[in-house]
């Protein structure tokens, strides 16, 4: 046993160094890499990828893991949890025949560009055969990974949100269907007129950058262990709590895009920075799950960043920077503008209220595609029907319909529902935190550190050492309950 622990931990350390090198390169590729270096870079990545594969499939290492897994009850809690996670991650490589595994990886390496072409040309037929194969493989994967309790789509859901099943998601989405859909359909009716100063002005990037720097300080995002850069799509990249990097994107025709994407990514980033540093060399560092991660980013972005209390404190600073552009715009104008809700077709541009309905459409079709109830070729038709039913709009073509997201091209089935789940977790966590201190007061007094500290203690510090379920139970004293979310949305958008 002791020997296996030693073998495991030494290999872990080595693999970590390789992963870190790969991680830094991928960050660099997204933010700095000159275009002419793309080919050279990918040659080096290929060499490293092969090295990593050899290490990951090293026989002595795998044997050590097997032995530790068999004796997991004798390990301390953290190591036990870690070994269970490694064993789970390796299960697919072990169970899927090598040629199938490689075929699937090759398929995935090409599918995103097929999807991008199909989207550009608004041609679902082009993407359909590739998508069909990806679905075929996802069904296989769910077979290989199935257990006594997890089967079919549930297996895929569990990959992104440990412990989540169709049973729980069905009840969650049923609640949205019963309560949120009618609310949205009665409280929105397409796009209304917007204040021209906010919607039609040009907002210079340098000024936006100034305000974003100000926001870093407001939220106490730790620049000693993190950076903010720009990239094509905003994202958070993290490897250890000591190195957490976020990006944003400045659009000169939008005053709000960079502000809220920065706050969103800071939510992810603060979470990562707050994970206990004792987990840094284990597999348990980093956020607990996609859903818990998204709950933090969305709480910072929507529940704090889009609150009236927040802008009561910070609107003056915004006006000071955009003196000319925001002349005559009041706090209330701005608050209404950043919280407008409308029926729309594109998920990534959807507002806080209608967003989960976009996810509901995807959840429903994914479930049916994996079970075989829905044929790939019939997907666009079903998509349009469900958009009409849930969001109240019908896409005119597949570019603004079923081809809009990259996820399926990347083989990600079971991922989408975590976005809606994250917002619902956020409402429940917010409610629990608000019982212990008045969150609005903290925001009004510019004391966001109080929120950061509470979340650190109740959610962030655990990394992956607790399951999402355990974290929800610890932080809110009850298991997942979507009521808080629906109530929160209805209250906020009734005004």
Q: Which residues are annotated as a binding site for Zn(2+)?
A: 264, 268, 294
Q: Which stretch binds Zn ion (CB under 5 A): 5-13, 97-105, 243-251, 296-304?
A: 296-304
Measured CA to CA in angstroms, residue 273 lies from 241, 342, 460 at distances of 4, 35, 8
Which of 301, 366 has the CB closer to Zn ion? 301
Strands, E assignment, 234-310: 236-240, 243-248
How many other CB atoms are there within 10 angstroms of residue 445's CB atom? 12
Which of 208, 297 has the CB closer to Zn ion? 297
State the Cα–Cα distance between residues 484 and 20, nearest whole angstrom.
39
Closest residue to bound Zn ion by CB: 297
Is residue 418 involved in binding Zn ion (CB under 5 A)? no
Which of 287, 482 has the CB closer to Zn ion? 287
**Count of residues binding Zn ion (CB under 5 A)?**
1
Token pair belonging to 114: 């097929």
Instruction: Please say if 89 is a catalytic residue.
Output: no
Q: Which stretch binds Zn ion (CB under 5 A): 92-100, 136-144, 290-298, 431-439?
A: 290-298
Which of 282, 297 has the CB closer to Zn ion? 297
State the Cα–Cα distance between residues 327 and 331, nearest whole angstrom.
11
Q: Which stretch binds Zn ion (CB under 5 A): 121-129, 158-166, 297-305, 359-367?
A: 297-305
Please state the closest distance from residue 69 (CB atom) to Zn ion, in A: 32
Please state the closest distance from residue 381 (CB atom) to Zn ion, in A: 30
Choosing from 261, 273, 289, 297, the residue that interacts with Zn ion (CB under 5 A) is 297
Q: Which long-range contacts (CB under 8 A, 24 or more apart) does 386-392 make?
A: 386/360, 386/361, 387/345, 387/361, 389/181, 390/177, 390/181, 390/357, 390/360, 390/361, 391/184, 391/343, 391/344, 391/345, 391/354, 391/357, 391/358, 391/361, 392/184, 392/185, 392/188, 392/343
Please state the closest distance from residue 439 (CB atom) to Zn ion, in A: 21
Residues 376 and 101 sit within 8 Å (Cβ to Cβ): no
SS3 at position 264: helix
Residues 419 and 294 sit within 8 Å (Cβ to Cβ): yes
Catalytic residue among 82, 161, 162, 265: 265
Where does this chain bind Zn ion (CB under 5 A)? 297
Catalytic residues: 265
């Amino acid at each position: 046993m002791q020997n296996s622990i030693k073998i495991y931990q030494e290999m872990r350390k080595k693999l970590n160094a390789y992963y870190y090198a790969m991680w830094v390169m991928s960050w660099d590729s997204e933010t700095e890499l000159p275009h002419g270096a793309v080919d050279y870079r990918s040659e080096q990545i290929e060499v490293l990828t092969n090295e990593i594969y050899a290490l990951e499939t090293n026989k002595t290492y795998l044997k050590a893991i097997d032995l530790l897994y068999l004796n997991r009850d004798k390990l301390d809690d953290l190591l036990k949890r870690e070994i269970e996670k490694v064993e789970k991650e390796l299960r697919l490589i072990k169970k899927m025949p090598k040629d199938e595994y490689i075929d699937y990886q090759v398929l995935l390496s090409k599918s995103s560009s097929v999807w991008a072409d199909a989207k550009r040309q608004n041609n679902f037929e082009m993407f359909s055969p590739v998508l069909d194969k990806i679905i075929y493989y996802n069904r296989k994967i769910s077979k290989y990974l199935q257990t006594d309790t997890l089967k079919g789509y549930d297996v895929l859901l569990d990959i992104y949100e440990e412990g989540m099943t169709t049973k729980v998601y069905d009840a969650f989405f049923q609640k949205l269907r019963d309560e949120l859909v009618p609310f949205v359909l009665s409280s929105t009716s397409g796009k209304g007129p917007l204040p021209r100063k906010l919607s039609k002005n040009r907002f210079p990037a340098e000024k936006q950058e100034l305000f974003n720097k100000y926001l870093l300080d407001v939220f106490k995002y730790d620049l000693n262990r993190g950076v903010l850069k720009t990239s094509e799509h905003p994202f958070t990249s993290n490897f250890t709590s000591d190195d957490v990097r976020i990006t944003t994107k400045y659009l000169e025709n939008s005053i709000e895009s960079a502000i809220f994407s920065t706050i969103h990514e800071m939510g992810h980033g603060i979470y990562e920075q707050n994970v206990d540093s004792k987990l840094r060399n284990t597999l348990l560092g980093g956020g607990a799950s996609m859903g818990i991660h998204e709950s933090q980013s969305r709480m910072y972005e929507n529940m704090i960043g889009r609150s009236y209390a927040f802008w009561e404190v910070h609107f003056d600073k915004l006006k000071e920077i955009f003196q000319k552009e925001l002349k005559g715009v009041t706090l209330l104008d701005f608050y209404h503008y950043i919280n407008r809700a409308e029926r729309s077709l594109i998920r990534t541009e959807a507002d806080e209220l209608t967003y989960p309905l976009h996810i509901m459409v995807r959840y429903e079709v994914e479930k049916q595609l994996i079970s075989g109830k829905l044929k790939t070729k019939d997907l666009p038709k079903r998509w349009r029907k469900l958009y009409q039913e849930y969001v109240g709009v019908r896409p005119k073509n597949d570019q603004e319909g079923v081809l809009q997201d990259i996820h399926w091209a990347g083989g990600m089935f079971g991922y989408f529902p975590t976005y809606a789940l994250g917002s619902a977790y956020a409402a429940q966590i917010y409610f629990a935190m608000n019982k212990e201190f008045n969150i609005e007061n903290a925001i009004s007094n510019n004391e966001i550190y109080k929120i950061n500290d509470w979340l650190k203690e109740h959610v962030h510090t655990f990394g992956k050492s607790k399951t999402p379920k355990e974290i929800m139970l610890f932080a809110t004293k009850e298991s997942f309950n979507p009521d808080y979310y629906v109530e929160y949305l209805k209250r906020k958008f009734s005004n």
